[in-house]
A = this chain, B = another copy of it.
Amino acid sequence: MEVADYDKHAYEPFAVTVDLAVLTLRAGALHVLLVERGQEPYAGHLALPGGFVQPAESAETAARRELAEETGLFDVSGLHLEQLRTYSEPDRDPRMRVVSVAFAALLPDAPEPHGGSDAADARWVPYSAARPLAFDHDRILADAHERVGAKLEYSCLATAFCPAEFTLGELQQVYETVWGTTLDRPNFRRKVLATPGFVEQVPGAARLTGGRGKPAALYRAGPATALHPPLLRPSREGRPA
């Protein structure tokens, strides 16, 4: 079949890429993985990592491949990768028509990327210092942040930011950092423990959080994926007067 006949429409080829908003927590601050562009346009600017989708792979597969290439990680199979949305404005790349499928990825720890061939200069940048980015990546990054913040409310996604075993204080830090708020510690604890399957206590040991204070019990992620009822962000649009 001739492609031009397809469903009575003209067939127009597009370049399809993936863009990755890879988020992690380092030293209590949200960081995003960025690469420095070496070519025009936006040479010297920071941009989200990404690349072309290959002929035989899906956008999800391409996203995992690019993630492995740019971070040097090899266990990309287990981590959380979420399709954000697709950006297709005709002028978003000045050179040609590029449709980009954006993903958000959440990493627990933050190894400094020892770039593969691809990303000699990929590095973690604090979220607050990430702008301005090349192309429409500012918007993609903002959308990723908003999506992750929203998903924390009604899913167990927060554990994706934590190592295999973590304390409730660390889990709370995830919420506080992504939401940019502070939470009441006893209330947070009560809420998390009251949600069946969110976290499970590791029987044996307790960990010293790195320094002072009473050692905290260790937990690992439970089998649940959704939070019922949700853990809502404070403030936003306030209560009815």
* A96 neighbours in B (Cβ, 8 Å): 3, 6
Q: Smallest distance from the beta carbon of A188 to chain B beta carbons, Å?
A: 17
Q: How far is the CA of A89 from the CA of B101 in the complex (A)?
A: 13
Do residues B6 and A55 form an inter-chain contact, with CB atoms below 8 A?
no
* A97 neighbours in B (Cβ, 8 Å): 55
User: Whose C-beta in chain B lies nearest to the C-beta of A98?
Assistant: B6
Q: Smallest distance from the beta carbon of A121 to chain B beta carbons, Å?
A: 13
CB < 8 Å neighbour of A15 from B3, B8, B39, B240: B3
* A118 neighbours in B (Cβ, 8 Å): 8
Task: Produce 1/0 per residue, A209-241, CB < 8 A to B.
Answer: 000000000000000101011101000110110
- Given that A56-B90, A86-B86, A90-B58 are known contacts, is A99 also in contact with B12, CB under 8 Å in the complex? no
* A54 neighbours in B (Cβ, 8 Å): 10, 12
Q: How far is the CA of A96 from the CA of B236 in the complex (A)?
A: 46
Q: Smallest distance from the beta carbon of A13 to chain B beta carbons, Å?
A: 3
Do residues A59 and B99 form an inter-chain contact, with CB atoms below 8 A?
yes
Task: Produce 1/0 per residue, A122-165, CB < 8 A to B.
Answer: 00000000000000000000000000000000000000000000
Show the binding face of A for B, using Cβ within 8 Å.
1, 3, 6-16, 39-40, 51-60, 83, 85-86, 88-90, 95-97, 99, 101, 118, 194-196, 224, 226, 228-230, 232, 236-237, 239-240
